[in-house]
Amino acid sequence: MKLRVFVSHSFHAEHHLHGKLDGFRNSVDAARVEVLSHAKLGLRDVSIDLHFEDTAIGQLLPARTRIDIECADIFIIDISARTANTFFELGYARALGVETIVIQQRSIQESIPANVADLLVGFYGTTDELRQIVARRLSEILGDVASLGASRPRDRCFWFEPDVREVHIVCGSEPEATRFANRDSDDYLLIDNFDDRDALFALSTLLSRAYPNANLVRHTSANLPPDIYHSNLVLVGGPLTNRVAAEMMAELNVKVRYLDGDDGIEFQGPRGLEIVRSQRDASGVIVADAGYFGRFRNPFARRNRIIMCQGCHTFGTLAASAILADDNQAQDNARYLEKLSGVDARAIARIECVFSVRVLTNRRVLPAAVTEPLTFVHVS
């Protein structure tokens, strides 16, 4: 499990011991190393990822910094400089319920502001003291954060903003409708109108866990309200079955194209053109399918997001709904995207990945992995 620690501090050298910003950062990093080296056996699989603020003093708090704070499990802040941004960030982190570590140089003569006087502040006079204070506080809260982290929505799913209030899931219509799909039937079932129902169930369960305060609304692409395009969207199924997916793929100029016969996906990746095909055994049964996952800013409302989960067949679509969800392989995939992009997964503006997924004899799919040749990420 990875814990994200965001560190807020002054960028002016005179605000740091001996006029050295690097000395401050090195002490915080040394505290991280010390805590991990002495971690209890149950926490040996925990890593601590430090994110140091990169916004100069006096500038407005940018969206990137807000995202860093929102994604943080622990927020470390040095209030020695007494800047407006410092206290705004502290208040923002506190409002989000992020665990905070507040520190200040002992030589600062000004009193602690009244609005933060109730917080525990660690005072330091040397870089060694700074390391000890941060290490001690990290150790105190590490166990609690590690045990609670898996239950936090922002740690399970980065698809939408943590405060999202409504998500619309749009599927294609079932091409072979049963009697239960007939509105005049005494046994009418709305769900029988939806294509890719396995993926719909998986996505509904995931989003309910990750965003418990969000209203999930399900539609078929043939029956939509007129203003839905401005919403947070999850588009299930490819362009042949889901007309909204087809429209958005054209609008967003995606890097995929389905081959004739719907048995392969062509992807314009970082290394050139790649093709992933579905595969059948000697008897014609599918043993591997191709899938596609995309995450984009909504071009009609840029704060909102569009998610695409597709496959050549239903197996690929189901695998796409899980490839960046919340199981172990999905979390590994998210970390891989962060390594590839150099930023937190939520800060990636555009994600497209194509993959192959094995289909077992019981018609279940194995977790799919993200690989570099078949992945495109764009940060800004």
Position 180 pLDDT exceeds 70? no
Domain presence at residue 344: yes
Task: Say whether both 190 and 338 belong to one domain.
Answer: yes
Task: Say whether both 124 and 98 belong to one domain.
Answer: yes
Task: Say whether both 168 and 138 belong to one domain.
Answer: no
Position 58 pLDDT exceeds 50? no
What is the pLDDT of the chain when averaged over all its residues? 83
Burial of 68 (0-12, 13-18, 19+ CB in 10 A): buried
The first and second tokens of residue 271, run together, are 């290394």
Q: Report the pLDDT value the prediction gives residue 294, as an integer from 0 to 100.
A: 97
Domain boundary among 94, 115, 149: 149
Task: Say whether both 209 and 337 belong to one domain.
Answer: yes
Domain presence at residue 182: yes
Name the β-bridge partners of 233.
168, 306
Count: domains in the chain: 2
Residues 6+ apart with CB under 8 A from 159: 207, 210, 234, 295, 305, 307, 324
Domain presence at residue 155: no
pLDDT in tens, 235-285: 999 999 999 999 999 999 999 999 987 789 999 888 889 999 999 999 999
Task: Say whether both 121 and 209 belong to one domain.
Answer: no
Domain presence at residue 154: no
pLDDT in tens, 60-100: 456 677 878 887 888 999 988 887 777 888 888 888 888 89
Task: Say whether both 142 and 171 belong to one domain.
Answer: no
Q: Please choose, from the candidates 144, 134, 141, the residue with its C-alpha nearest in 3D space to the C-alpha of residue 32.
A: 134
Tell me which residue range forms the domain holding 281: 161-378
Name the β-bridge partners of 45.
none
Task: Say whether both 178 and 273 belong to one domain.
Answer: yes
Task: Say whether both 16 and 43 belong to one domain.
Answer: yes
pLDDT in tens, 145-177: 555 444 454 556 899 988 889 999 999 887 666
